[in-house]
Structure 1
């Protein structure tokens, strides 16, 4: 019976068979998270679907169609496109430097047909695909050869460097860590990571001296936000006040004072978790984090179930990218790390991050649908 089901998955790749193989429970979790985002943005809009919540749910609906469409694409075809997609992402990052849109002191967006895109977000997905394609056919003998790692290291450093130039320090760090997660999952030895990370503390002062003024202000504010309570420290101070005022159970839906009286900055984007913490309290915040963790763990389970290395690496890389979104955003609003412009995925208002996340989940779901397909064997070195 089990062998029959396995053979069915391997041979029946018609449209109905692929739709049957989609993890609809995982799709339901994503819909639940987007629903939480709608409720939060409805509150951020002052109890109205405009201007945030209506756009949010429309974008998610379009993203859901895109995700399911990508899920039906054979993962082997996606693997063949991995390097072209990576190359396109690098071209878009170069275009940002030349014709990009400047916002809040940084040049991070490009206009395409009236739609603003942030290529640095898509570059993280492209990086995962390229690294997975590189490591997929690598034997353990080749993995032990340091020269074999030159190409993937350059593959990581190139987008990181271009993102730093925008400047976008937070996304560049996340991009580098996502790349490292694929290295680790592929089996690169821990001591090689140590060699790379060892000089970083020594370079800290040099890097700090060459940061932009607003980046240094974020670090200084993180260390001592009360030093400039009405300037650089205002955001994080108000965020802590809102979280603390929520208490255990919160003030109630649509009853948050910090958010609705506009003391809380960027409540629809970066500080959406803070607004929810004020209205639903510590319990509500834990419930949201539980939902986010289910999605992350679900992605990791998909990676474990893949029979081919490419799918495993892609699923782990995309899951880790989602985790970094969540960790950085929540840690930021709690004051655990410096403030940066990282949204809470499928909850915060924003189109570029929404599309990127849904494309990533589409590729993740393709890994699940095609988890038993026969990939080319690893090279024998």
Structure 2
């Protein structure tokens, strides 16, 4: 306890007050702006009222903001020490989901924690980035090139990915695997190993397709030909495209979106919130939101490039990749560029688990920034 107390109060970054002023407040304001966009969109999704979506969104963001700023002050060395315990605890939560998780929309993904429902698969993406960054933090170039050295982190990746696939949650499982891949890449794993994995995945894809659930197969066939079932599996994406196109350049105006307010647009408060923004604020509004999200992604990667120690660099790469994939997959999904899946738009969509885990990730990212010059001990083994 004495060592942890010293780590929290003394390092090369200075005391807690000095750390507080080292927080990049412009970045915090960017996150507040994204959350404000979410509040406006959810206010409209609620029919011009704060309830049931916008008010809860604001409360969750407020709690997440306090948590994020608190995490920014925690010494990065303490976070590195807790990386594997956090990973193990999150795996335990996934096991708990498998045993007694809440079933919703045909999937078993949530656990009840008092008044809230937690989706551990969202937290696992961050926990896995922590664990892998800790594993590779002191590995030399030669050691990373040793296949035997890569077996433990590969197993640590396959275990949660397999558990998330079993829920089933294909979209989150794929994002989790790609977040892990970004940390492997940042650690210096050779490109030909990635090529081998992608080649094996391509060969296994037809076999994996046969083991998908019927609704997952329907998403793929609908992606290829939405008009084949316009009132069934293709309904969501068709309505989304109609709403996107009807917004035009400047949009129909706040609270004036017909597809959303006449309930043609499905899941307008979660998966298809970006479509609702585009309908009411047009192409200009949609691109402005994307530009704001792009700035958040760019700053997140900049934190990784400026960090002087390997643990923080790899952790920031994983966290930045996770946020980027959130945005990319959601926008590509609602525009019909990829099959529809349950991936929210971070800090904008309605949902507690995604909001809190996103803010938890940004808290770790800010800690990396504040402690970017921290002495993490020997750098290579």
TM range (shorter): over 0.9
Between Structure 1 and Structure 2, how many residues are aligned?
372
Q: Shift of the alpha carbon at 1:355?
A: 0.3
Conserved? CA contact 2:34–2:347, under 8 Å:
yes
Counterpart residue number, 2:42: 41
Residues 40, 218 of structure 1: CA spacing in aligned structure 2 closer, same or farther, 3 A cutoff?
A: same
* Stretches (4+) displaced over 6 A: none
Q: Shift of the alpha carbon at 1:12?
A: 5.0
User: Secondary structure of 2:200's match?
Assistant: coil
Tell me the distance in 2 between the aligned counterparts of 1:114 and 1:46: 25
Q: Shift of the alpha carbon at 1:114?
A: 2.6
Counterpart residue number, 1:164: 165
Counterpart residue number, 1:210: 211
User: Secondary structure of 1:263's match?
Assistant: coil
User: Secondary structure of 1:88's match?
Assistant: helix
Counterpart residue number, 2:290: 289
Paired residues for 1:2-21 under 5 Å: 11=12, 13-21=14-22
Conserved? CA contact 1:10–1:372, under 8 Å:
no
Counterpart residue number, 1:341: 342
Q: Residue 149 in 1 paired to residue 147 in 2?
A: no
Paired residues for 1:231-380 under 5 Å: 231-380=232-381
Counterpart residue number, 1:178: 179
Q: Shift of the alpha carbon at 1:80?
A: 0.2
Paired residues for 1:80-159 under 5 Å: 80-159=81-160
Tell me the distance in 1 between the aligned counterparts of 2:231 and 2:68: 42
Tell me the distance in 2 between the aligned counterparts of 1:82 and 1:114: 27
Q: Residue 63 in 1 paired to residue 64 in 2?
A: yes
Residues 12, 248 of structure 1: CA spacing in aligned structure 2 closer, same or farther, 3 A cutoff?
A: closer
Q: What is the TM-score of this pair, normalised by structure 1? A: 0.96
Q: Shift of the alpha carbon at 1:258?
A: 0.4
Q: What is the TM-score of this pair, normalised by structure 2? A: 0.96
Tell me the distance in 2 between the aligned counterparts of 1:49 and 1:250: 22
Q: Shift of the alpha carbon at 1:379?
A: 3.4
Query: Where does the alignment leave 5 or more consecutive residues of structure 1 unmatched?
Result: 1-8
Conserved? CA contact 2:13–2:374, under 8 Å:
no
Query: Where does the alignment leave 5 or more consecutive residues of structure 2 unmatched?
Result: 1-9
Which whole-Å deviations, capped at 9, do the CAs of 1:321-342 have from their partners, x for residues lacking one?
Answer: 0000000000000000000000
Which one is further off, 103-112 or 198-207? Answer: 198-207
Q: Shift of the alpha carbon at 1:11?
A: 3.5
Residues 184, 12 of structure 1: CA spacing in aligned structure 2 closer, same or farther, 3 A cutoff?
A: closer
Conserved? CA contact 1:106–1:166, under 8 Å:
yes
Q: Shift of the alpha carbon at 1:10?
A: 5.5
User: Secondary structure of 1:108's match?
Assistant: strand
Tell me the distance in 1 between the aligned counterparts of 2:248 and 2:350: 25
Conserved? CA contact 1:83–1:130, under 8 Å:
yes
Conserved? CA contact 2:304–2:317, under 8 Å:
yes
Q: Shift of the alpha carbon at 1:378?
A: 2.5
Counterpart residue number, 2:192: 191
Tell me the distance in 1 between the aligned counterparts of 2:207 and 2:127: 30
Tell me the distance in 1 between the aligned counterparts of 2:30 and 2:340: 28
Tell me the distance in 1 between the aligned counterparts of 2:198 and 2:273: 33
Conserved? CA contact 1:33–1:291, under 8 Å:
yes
Which whole-Å deviations, capped at 9, do the CAs of 1:133-192 have from their partners, x for residues lacking one?
Answer: 000010111011111111111111010000001000010000001100110111111001
Which whole-Å deviations, capped at 9, do the CAs of 1:84-134 have from their partners, x for residues lacking one?
Answer: 000011111111000100000000000112321000000000000000000
Counterpart residue number, 2:4: none
